[in-house]
Structure 1
Amino acid sequence: MTAGQPQPQPEYPPRYPTGLGTSDAATISLLGQNLAEDLMGKVGFGELAFWLATQRRPTAGEVRLFETVLVALADHGFTPTAIAARMTLYSAPESVQGALAAGLLGGGSRFLGVTEDTGRFLAEVLAAVNAAGEPLPATEAEWDALAREALTERKAAKQLVPGLGHPVHKEGDPRTPVIIRIAHEEGVHGPHLALFEAVGRTAPDVLGRALPLNGAGVCGAALADLGLPLELLRGFALLARTAGLLGHLAEELRRPIAPDVYRSVDRNAHYVPGAAP
């Protein structure tokens, strides 16, 4: 554009593009569908969540595996996230949203975040293979060789391998074989799960101890095989855990434990002089 030419005027009112939802006086549109006529009563929540995140409608097999992951991650008992939600509801009974948020904010490297960490770890190993111009492994032995190399590098760098071990399920996480089986049944078992299984087979030799593949890790591998964005894997874990936290809050209303937890900690606190800075 040369000097003296009129400058383009900004559009008014401004337009903000979205591929998700819009509405007018008579209709609500979601993902290009009529919400009331095309989606309500016809599309399950898991399918819709997948569709919203990927902008493509999943196949029946993808929905089954995705919802299996959501169920696997929904609740795991009195985890710190569940306790935080219950304690927040006790402190602020008028704020269910605050209690849910308190539980979700605790989703990190020890709880729930393992799903994303494992997916990223596996994706990085596979990306390195692609970057080198090499084909992905075709046999179990080749997968084992790739896993052994990745584990050796992590060990040398003194980095933890995400997805290994569990504080409760020392001999094996019961969720892991179910997710792998369903992925095979639905034809959506891909390279991330194949590599993760190889990690489980080779870890004892490389790391010197047997650590089971945990449920959060296998969920991350499955979600990555479904083509879901790595940046959102923790979000899907939090989506699943929201249902579990809501269950904890409902139970807290029926049969509260938060007052007892509070009193137990408060009455048993004792002063210990701190070290000087």
Structure 2
Amino acid sequence: MSAEAGQWWSTDLTRIVPGEIDLGGYPVEQLIEHASFVDAVWLLLRGDLPDRRRSKLLEAALTASVDHGPQAPSIAAARMAATCGVGLNSAVATGTNLLGDVHGGAGQQCMQLLDELVQRVRDGAGVQDAAADAVSRHRYVPGFGHRFHPRDPRRDPLLGLVEDAVAEGVVDGEHLRAALAVEAALADGRTRPVPMNIDGATAVVYAELGFAPELGRGLFVLARSVGILAHAWEERGSGTRIKGPIPRTLLAGYTGPATREVPRGR
């Protein structure tokens, strides 16, 4: 093989030669024995193995994001696709392809907001003032509030783990403090608070662990793919064919013209 061909897809991630596989410099047989799947995710994205505390924190965020039931558009789409005779991989791809800016992108957007606030605090602003200003400039603050849960049940355990990590010196807590300040600013003057949702809580975890915002979205897609796969597999076993978005006994509302004749002699 020529040097030019060898460099065409050169990579720092994986070394492959006959009989050997290294991921980030670690022999795969040793990773199989001594590392977890989450460790391997960190290794490929960050270039080295995480310590036990960071691995646990990342695993908690991924676990919290695996599923939110068939009312989530990505799950519903995957289930619908599974009844249409496509392969399981196509059903999963149908679901994951719905994870965009609106459904699935709030975690990345929240990380970007928290990064902005952390930088303003580093530049000398007060965290509460910076948070109040950010809230005033956003019609919708990503990562806060939930259309279904008054208080997202995933918020407290995730933030509790981050607080423990801050106390142990594992992470510095800047993004956690920024997120809590935003939460407080959103509650100011309201009769009902607007707590962090899963996107906000995992944004805190991923940001504290040093992941870039776009990777935060990628990690959410990775985690939610588990739920998408499980729902697609369950729906395939139901035996239902061509399951639409609403029950067959219901008809979609029609708001177009009344029934009319096609003009003759056209």
Q: TM tier, shorter chain?
A: 0.7 to 0.9
1:191 CA displacement: 1.0
1:71-82 alignment to 2 at 5 Å? Answer: 71-78=63-70, 79-82=72-75
The runs of 4+ residues in structure 1 deviating greater than 6 Å are: none
1:169 aligns with 2:149: yes
1:274 CA displacement: 5.7
Structure-1 separation of matches of 2:241 and 2:142 = 32
1:88 CA displacement: 1.1
Tell me if structure 2 keeps the 8 A contact 1:204–1:210. Answer: yes
Partner SS, residue 127 of structure 1: helix
Tell me if structure 2 keeps the 8 A contact 1:183–1:189. Answer: no
TM superposition score normalised by structure 2 = 0.85
1:40 aligns with 2:20: no
CA pair 207-146 structure 1, distance change in 2 beyond 3 A: farther
Q: Partner residue of 2:52? A: 60
| Structure 1, 250-259 or 113-122: larger mean CA deviation | 250-259
Partner SS, residue 101 of structure 1: helix
One of 2, 6, 10 as aligned partner of 1:17: 10
Q: Deviations over 1:6-64 (max 9, x none)?
A: xxxx954442431111211121111101112x111321111111121111221111111
Structure-2 separation of matches of 1:87 and 1:68 = 29
One of 149, 159, 180 as aligned partner of 1:197: 180
Q: Sequence identity of aligned pairs in percent?
A: 28
1:206 CA displacement: 6.2
Gaps of 5+ in 1: 1-9, 137-141
1:184 CA displacement: 2.0
Q: Partner residue of 2:23? A: 30
1:186 CA displacement: 2.8
1:254 aligns with 2:237: yes
1:129-208 alignment to 2 at 5 Å? Answer: 129-130=121-122, 133-134=123-124, 142-152=126-136, 154-155=137-138, 159-170=139-150, 172-187=151-166, 188=171, 190-205=173-188
Letter in 2 for 1:57: L
Between the two proteins, the alignment pairs up a number of residues equal to: 251
CA pair 150-272 structure 1, distance change in 2 beyond 3 A: closer
CA pair 252-226 structure 1, distance change in 2 beyond 3 A: same
TM superposition score normalised by structure 1 = 0.81
1:127 aligns with 2:119: yes
Tell me if structure 1 keeps the 8 A contact 2:82–2:233. Answer: no
